[in-house]
Amino acid sequence: MKLNHNKTFWIVIILWAIITLLRVAFHQPWFDEAHAYIIAQELSPLDLIALMNVEGHTFIWYFLIMPFAKADLWYPYPMLILNWLFAFVAMIIFWKKAPLHPVTKTMVSFSYIFLAQIPVVARCYAVGVMFLFMLAAFYKERLEKPLLYAACIILCANTSVIALFGAAAFGFVYVFDMIKEALDGRVSRKDFRISFMILAVGAVLILWQLGCSNANFINEDNLFLHRFSSYLISEHHNLVDYLNVFALGSVILALPVYCYKNKRVLFILLFPIAAMLWTFLTKYGGGPHHYIFFYIYALIGLWIMKYFDLSSRKAVIAEIAVALLFFAQIFSHMSYTPGYFNSGSKVMAESFVTDEVKNNGKVMIFKAFDMRFIPYIKDKNLDIYYYATGEISDYLTYDTPLLEVAKYYLSPTWIHEANKKSDKPLYAILEVTPLTPADGFVLEDRDYKMIFTPHRILNKTYGIFKVTEIKK
């Protein structure tokens, strides 16, 4: 039975909107979401752009949330809704413009990627996906609307480095075709000049943000291979894991063969994937929220290739392979889903910050991931210190090797450096581990002894400890 595309669209998009909005409503941001919010809240626009070389992103998302962050309005809902809107627009573009079967589109829509990750986790990726989908949707008309297309390339490039790879691929093809068409007299000089001015301004922005690398981005040996294999195959080795591997292998074989005769599409498919692999293998191991872009770029490659070859045998095989890839994603990473909207940051922050702490104390945070609490307690009468820097919080930098206290190397002398800057009692937010047990513990070195007394422990996993300092 042939599916009615328009009817399927409305059924899927309404269900998708209901499910994702419910997830957004109950989502409590993780560290990376809170981190972007704090940066947007604390920095000026120029300082923010200058910081991007250590952020690994580009500036647009931070600029978009900046008005809400600086006004401190209803955190985190403006940020979450804004992110959801970009994801919603991306889904509309996909359903209306992608020349794919409704079954394929449905599998994509209800995959983990587009049901639990992109619309729920409020980061820079949803806006980047929206612009990538726009570049794919108007690919055939890129020379008919050159100024709009050039602007989309630059906007996409300034959402994240992962989206920058795709924008660069589209941009190189666009520049090549613009020069070719201009030499043949089929593009006006005015459009040609303005388009290249837009691209030049965008290139300057990218160089400004990412022109100097940060030495702290050093990849650990085989970190990407370990993480990506864990992303594909769970510890339980169930049938869905094998489906995921089979589907990925099918796409790796079928999609390049399908795109081979169209060198432009092949370049748009392979360039961002190769750039991601190089980045993950040499600079930064990445995480699941990065690996989903392998899937997104495969989808985009199929999408634009089908403009030129809609119904050949290769087209059918390639689409089945991509559909299976996203079908596996419906089931394969359900274990990730709760974590993305159940960080517990609000519940934890409100449990930690009792009246006693709020009115009289200062709080020290020890790990980067614990930043997720800060926006919820920042309006309280509290000073918040980072153990990594010993300074009162403004925004998180990556310039100190002490930032990630992965094994809780807690130096009493280092804690003292922050503690001495204020006479308020010191409290510490810490994950409960064998080294930092819930019933309290003592740290000491040659100069100081720190007694950590439990003040409030939440679910035996996290706690706020009162810290008493004794000078030896």
Amino acid identity at 114: F
pLDDT band at 176; cut points 50, 70, 90: very high
* Contacts of residue 406, Cβ cutoff 8 Å, sequence gap at least 6: 367
Residues 39, 48: Cα–Cα separation, whole Å: 7
Residues 190, 200: Cα–Cα separation, whole Å: 15
Indicate the domain borders of the chain: 5-340, 345-471
Q: Strands 448-458 and 426-431, how do they pair? A: unpaired
Residues 269, 251: Cα–Cα separation, whole Å: 12
Name the 3-class secondary structure at 384: strand
Residues 169, 173: Cα–Cα separation, whole Å: 6
Residue pair 75/375 in contact (Cβ under 8 Å)? The answer is yes
This prediction's pTM: 0.88
Residues 182, 372: Cα–Cα separation, whole Å: 51
Q: How many CA atoms lie within 13 A of 116 on its CB side?
A: 19
pLDDT band at 30; cut points 50, 70, 90: confident
Is pLDDT larger for residue 4 or for residue 77?
A: 77
The answer to whether residue 281 scores a pLDDT higher than 80 is yes
Residues 17, 10: Cα–Cα separation, whole Å: 10
Is the sign of the CA dihedral 210, 215, 217, 219 positive or negative? positive
What's the pLDDT at 3?
A: 64
Q: For 346-393, how does the pLDDT look when each residue is reduced to its tens digit (9 = 90+)?
A: 888 888 778 878 777 888 888 777 778 888 887 677 788 877 666 565
Q: What is the DSSP letter of 392?
A: B
Q: Strands 362-365 and 383-386, how do they pair? A: parallel
- CA-wise closest residue to 329 among 240, 408, 394, 255: 240
* C-alpha triplet 201, 268, 143: angle, nearest 5°: 60
Name the 3-class secondary structure at 364: strand
What's the pLDDT at 189?
A: 86
What's the pLDDT at 335?
A: 53
The answer to whether residue 4 scores a pLDDT higher than 80 is no
Q: For 307-347, how does the pLDDT look when each residue is reduced to its tens digit (9 = 90+)?
A: 999 889 999 999 999 999 999 988 766 555 554 556 778 88
